[in-house]
Chains A and B, each alone.
Chain A
Amino acid sequence: MKKQFSRYFILVSLLTCIAVFFFVVQKSYENLISASTHQEDYSLIKTVSPNLNIQVLDQIEKRR
């Protein structure tokens, strides 16, 4: 009886330890990643294209 109890006790405590370890690792990774995914909806980083189509102005200029 004692032998069986001790075997289960070690097994349960080991599995609990592993589960808590992976929980902490997974949550930490999630925290790490979520900070960089929030930036996608940050309105300030919308790019601005500095290219102007100057040829259109030349075409307009040729007209009267």
Chain B
Amino acid sequence: MKPSFSNLSPLFAYLRKKREDQKFARSLEIGGTFLLITFFIFFAIKPTFFTISKLVGEIRHKKTLTVQLRKKIDDIIAAQDLFAQVQEKYFLVDESLPSHPSFYNLNSLITSAAAQNQIYFNKIQYNLPEEEIFYKASLNQNSSFASTMAFLTELFQSRRLLDLNNLSFSVDEASSSGQQINLSLPLNVYYWPK
């Protein structure tokens, strides 16, 4: 007896179903493998990678820091050597920009420079403003123009750091010879407060 096509169709249907089941099982296997890999990455590889990357980052950071600190140490040694060379001249810095107002020294400077040019100040006014790096010294006196100019030249040849904002001369009409001028000299005297 010859099998007809109608007799074979359940067999084909069974085979098709079987093949679909196999495909489904294979896709489940593939999907499950991906999920397992994900699980593995998340719970095993992630902590390891995080730790390794952190440690590598810290090692790099320490290496860079070591190089920078070594350079800083070299700079400090160079600065110490240089400072040792100029240490004998440090008094010049202190004379130019003292760490305290040093009124006495300034007073001596002004009076000696003035005395050399026959100028004698009756009064020198000092004003020490708060939170400033300078104080004000105000000088007023009558003298001849030539003496005044010589006095100013002498004063600004000194080592002390002085700043003259403005300078005013006026003819002293009350003087007997009429050649006397009135000098008004407001000075800013710098120092380096600690």
Give chain A's interface residue range (CB within 8 Å of chain B). 35 or more
Q: How far is A50 from B30 in the complex, measured between Cα atoms in Å?
A: 67
Q: Does B157 contact A (CB under 8 A)?
A: yes
Q: Roughly how many angstroms separate A1 CA and B64 CA in the complex, as a whole number?
A: 60
Dominant secondary structure at the B interface: helix
For the complex, what is the distance from the CA of A33 to the CA of B83, rounded to whole Å?
39
Interface residues on B, range: 35 or more
B103 interface residue (CB < 8 Å to A):
no
Number of interchain pairs (Cβ within 8 Å)? 126
Contacts of B102 in A (CB 8 A): none
Asked if B193 is at the interface of the complex by the 8 Å CB criterion, the answer is: no
B41 touches A57 (CB 8 A): no
Bits for A43-64, please: 1 = Cβ < 8 Å to B, else 0.
0111111111010010011011
CB pair B57 A35 closer than 8 Å: yes
B46 contacts the other chain (CB 8 A): yes
Cα–Cα distance between A2 and B28 once the two chains are bound (Å): 10
Q: Give the distance in Å from the alpha carbon of A29 to the alpha carbon of B50 in the complex.
A: 9
B161 nearest CB neighbor, chain A only: A60
- Which of A13, A17, A31 interacts with B57 by CB under 8 Å? A31
| Interfacial chain B residues near A57, Cβ < 8 Å | 86, 89, 92-93
Contact B95 A16 (CB under 8 A): no
Would you list 6 pairs from A and B whose C-beta atoms are within 8 A, ordered by A residue? A3-B20, A13-B35, A32-B57, A44-B69, A46-B72, A52-B83
